[in-house]
Amino acid sequence: MGELKSENVVWHKLSVSRDDRENLLKQKGVLIWFTGLSGSGKSTVANALQNKLYEKEKLTYILDGDNVRHGLNGDLGFTIEDRKENIRRIGELSKLFVDTGIITLATFISPLREDREQVRKLLNEDFIEVYIKCPLEVCENRDPKELYKKARDGKIKNFTGIDSPYEEPENPEITVDTSELSIDECIEKILEYLVSHKKVI
Ligand SMILES: Nc1ncnc2c1ncn2[C@@H]1O[C@H](COP(=O)(O)OP(=O)(O)OP(=O)(O)O)[C@@H](O)[C@H]1O
Ligand SMILES: [Mg+2]
C-alpha cells in the first residue's frame, strides 16, 4: 500500500486552493473521527453534532460505517486485513473531503489503534479523535441493531468486543462517556473543544 502502481502519474496543480474554498465557505475543513464500540453512540452523537453545526450554517458531511460499506467498500469484510483496508480507504476519502473545506464526521468502530494512527498521520492537525466511550455491557443492553444478540448466538463472526478486539484510544483529543452524559452534554463537550481550538470558526 502507498506505492503507485501506475507510471507517468503526475500531480496536477490546480489554481483554486483549499484556502480559497475555506474562505468561500467561511469555515475550515477538519476530520472529526468518532471511534467506539458498536452501540456506543457514534452515529447518534455525530448526527446531533451535525444538526448543531447546520444551525450555525456550517457545511458538514457524515461518512458512516454501514453506508460506506454499501458502496465504496462493499468488497470488504470484517477480517483484520479487510478492516485495515476499510479504514485506509476511508482515511484517503476523508482527506479529499477535508480538502474541500467540509467539516467531515467519520463514524466507524475503527477498533485498531494502528489503523486510526495511520489516518491521523495522513491528516495531521486536521484529525480530531473523539472516543465515544461506553462499557460493553451498556452497548450490549442497548443493542439498537440486535447485532450483539446475533454475535452471542454465533450468527456474526469477528464482532468487536465479542470475538474481535477493540483497542481504546490512548490520547484522543476528546472523550465522551455516553453511559454518563446525555447526547446534548456530549455534543456540548465536543463543540467546546472545536471552538476553543479554532477548529470550528
Ligand atoms: N448519551 C447517549 N449518547 C449516544 N447514544 C445514546 C446515549 N444514550 C443512549 N443512547 C442510545 O444508544 C444507541 C447508540 O447507537 P448508535 O447507532 O449511535 O451506535 P454506533 O456507535 O453508531 O454503533 P455502530 O458501530 O453499530 O454503528 C442509540 O439507540 C441511542 O439512542
Ligand atoms: Mg453507527
CA separation for the pair 87, 34 (Å, rounded): 12
Three-state DSSP at 65 gives helix
Which residues make up the environment of ion ligand 2, defined by Cβ < 5 Å?
Answer: 42-43
Sign of the CA dihedral running 179, 180, 183, 189: negative
pLDDT at 152 over 70: yes
For ligand 1, atom 26: residue with the closest CA: 38
In a domain, 50, yes or no: yes
Are 79 and 164 in contact, with CB atoms under 8 Å apart? no
Nearest atom (ligand 1) to Cα of 108: 25
Q: Does residue 9 sit within a domain?
A: no
Q: Ligand 2 center to residue 113 CA distance, Å?
A: 19
User: How confident is the prediction for the chain on average, in pLDDT?
Assistant: 95
pLDDT digits (tens, 9 = 90+) for 41-84: 999 999 999 999 999 999 999 999 888 999 999 999 988 899 89
**Among 59, 32, 36, residue whose Cα is nearest residue 191:** 32
Q: How confident is the model at residue 197 (pLDDT cuts 50, 70, 90)?
A: very high
Q: What would the DSSP string read from start to end of 126-162?
A: GEEEEEEE--HHHHHHH-TTSHHHHHHTTSSSS-BTT
Of 7-11, 41-45, 114-118, 125-129, which range is least confident? 7-11
Cβ(101) – ligand 1 distance below 6 Å: no
Q: Helices (DSSP H) in the chain: which residue ranges?
A: 18-25, 42-55, 65-70, 80-100, 113-123, 136-142, 147-152, 183-196
**106 beta partners:** 33, 63
CB 42 within 8 A of CB 116: no
Find the Cα–Cα–Cα–Cα dihedral 94, 44, 150, 175, rounded to 10°: 70
Residue 172 in domain? yes
**Per-residue pLDDT at 190:** 98
**54 Cα to the center of ligand 2, angstroms:** 20
- What is the pLDDT, as a whole number, of residue 7? 85
- Cβ–ligand 1 contact at 38 (below 6 Å): yes
**Which residue matches cell numbers 466507524?**
108
Amino acid at 90: I
- Alpha carbon of 39 to ligand 1 centroid (Å): 5
Over its C-alpha atoms, the chain yields an Rg (Å, rounded) of 18
pLDDT 10s digits, 72-103? 999 999 888 998 999 999 999 999 999 999 99
Q: How confident is the model at residue 2 (pLDDT cuts 50, 70, 90)?
A: low
Rounded CA-CA distance 191/119 in Å is 22
Alpha carbon of 99 to ligand 1 centroid (Å): 29
Q: Is residue 128 one of the residues assigned to a domain?
A: yes
Within a domain: 66:
yes
Domain assignment of residue 162, yes or no: yes
Q: Is 179 designated active site?
A: no
Query: How many distinct structural domains can be found in the chain?
Result: 1
User: What is the domain extent for residue 40?
Assistant: 26-196
Residue 105 maps to a domain: yes
Task: Find out whether the beta carbon of 40 lies less than 6 Å from any atom of ligand 1.
Answer: yes
Share of the chain above pLDDT 90, in %: 89
110 C-beta closer than 6 A to ligand 1: no
Q: Is the pLDDT of residue 198 over 70?
A: yes
Mean pLDDT of 170-198: 98
β-pair partners for 87: none
Has residue 145 been placed in a domain? yes
Angle at 174 between CA 183 and CA 143, to 5 degrees: 45
Write the CATH number for 78. 3.40.50.300
Residue 178 has pLDDT above 60, yes or no: yes
d(CA 12, CA 28): 23
Quick one: which atom of ligand 1 is closest to the CA of 179? 1
